[in-house]
Amino acid sequence: MDPNDLRKIANRIRRRDLQAVFEAGAGHIGGEMSVTDLLTALYFHVLNVNPVAPLDPGRDRLILSKGHAALALYVTLAEKGFIGKEEISTFLQPHSRLNGHPNRTKVPGVETNTGPLGHGLPVAVGIARAAQLDQARWRTFVITGDGEMQEGSNWEAIMAAAQFQLDNLTLIIDHNRLQQGARLADTNNLAPLAPRLAAFGWAVEEIDGHDMAQICRALTPGAISPGRPKCVVAHTNKGQGISFMQDNVAWHHKVPDESQYRQALIELEEAAV
């Protein structure tokens, strides 16, 4: 799909996400805005997935390891047709299957239940190993947050992926430089991420995580390095697209009031044109 069309879809997803956070009175809007372009490019350009057959054994797999951004995933899955668009209005409502973190047993298109950080990458290593055993061509993608890379389980998986030579695995780090309580740099600074992954034997590429053309290029099969797992360090902004949220640690899971909501919506609508 053309990068321009992808941008339009991403804008639509951001607006629906914003509205759902406002109506539910909860969500993780900062990290949802930072990951939206990545999810859009994956679901509408990269992944071989079919909403009619969500468990097709030959499908590509995507794991959103930063499960607290579930709403962005739900809206993307609804755009793609895995769930109904009207269902987004049930987000966080009693008995809704759209709770604060994704559940594969309830929501088609979800591959594993995430929420506790540092879980998605080990599972992705297992999925990629299964494909490797079967010499299957489908690919496995996992998106982590940058703060999430502080979890030791990720580094266990990073070692294993290199040892197993999983070139069918791509880790995308949503590098927005902010974690829940503070900047990464002021907490437990892992940056620069690229040389650390490279030191573990991964092929690493750094991109602008809001540039659709760059995202698509980095995730094409042609960008695979034979015998090495791939890490895409996607430089992003928390709250991307909404000026007063952008790169602001206060907006990890803050909920906009009425006037903030109106302003944010106006900004996103202007960007849509």
Partner 1 sequence: MNAPVNLSALYDCRDAFTQTLETLAAQDGRIVAVCNDSVGSSKLGGFRDKWPQRLINVGIAEQNMVGVGAGLANGGKVPFVCAAACFLTGRALEQIKADIAYSDANVKLCGISSGMAYGELGPTHHSTEDFAWVRAIPNIAVIAPCDRIETAAAVRFAAAHTGPVFLRLSRVGVPDLLPEAHVFELGRANTLRDGTDLTLIANGVLSHRAMLAAEQLAEQGISARVLNMATVRPIDEQTIIQAARETGAILTCEEHTIYGGLGSAVAEVVVDHHPVPMVRLGVPGVFPPTGSANFLLDEFGMSPVDIAASAAGLIKRKHQGG
Residues that bind partner 1 (CB under 8 A): 57, 61, 103-105, 111-116, 118-119, 121-131, 133-134, 152-153, 156-157, 159-160, 163
Q: Please give the full DSSP string across 156-207, using - where no structure is assigned.
A: HHHHHHHHTT-TTEEEEEEE-SB-SSSBGGGTS---SHHHHHHHTT-EEEEE
**Shortest Å, Cβ 84 to partner 1:** 23
Percent helix, strand and coil across the chain, each to the nearest 5: 45, 10, 40
β-strand 140-145 against 169-175: which pairing, if any?
A: parallel
**Shortest Å, Cβ 126 to partner 1:** 2
**Shortest Å, Cβ 168 to partner 1:** 11
Residue 81 or 115: which CB sits closer to partner 1?
A: 115
**Shortest Å, Cβ 3 to partner 1:** 31
Residue 85 or 106: which CB sits closer to partner 1?
A: 106
**Shortest Å, Cβ 194 to partner 1:** 22
Residue 147 or 256: which CB sits closer to partner 1?
A: 147
**Shortest Å, Cβ 161 to partner 1:** 9
Residue 117 or 216: which CB sits closer to partner 1?
A: 117
Residue 64 or 215: which CB sits closer to partner 1?
A: 64
Residue 4 or 105: which CB sits closer to partner 1?
A: 105
Cβ atoms of 48 and 138 within 8 Å: the answer is: yes
**CA pair distance 111, 62, nearest whole angstrom:** 7
* Cα-Cα end-to-end distance for the chain: 18
Q: How far is CA 13 from CA 9, 159, 179, 190, in A?
A: 6, 35, 22, 30
Amino acid letter at 85? K
Residue 72 in tokens: 């962005």
Phi-psi region of 25 (alpha: psi -120 to 50; beta: other; left: phi over 0): left
**CA pair distance 268, 272, nearest whole angstrom:** 6
Cβ atoms of 146 and 176 within 8 Å: the answer is: yes
**CA pair distance 210, 273, nearest whole angstrom:** 17
**Shortest Å, Cβ 16 to partner 1:** 26
Residue 90 or 113: which CB sits closer to partner 1?
A: 113
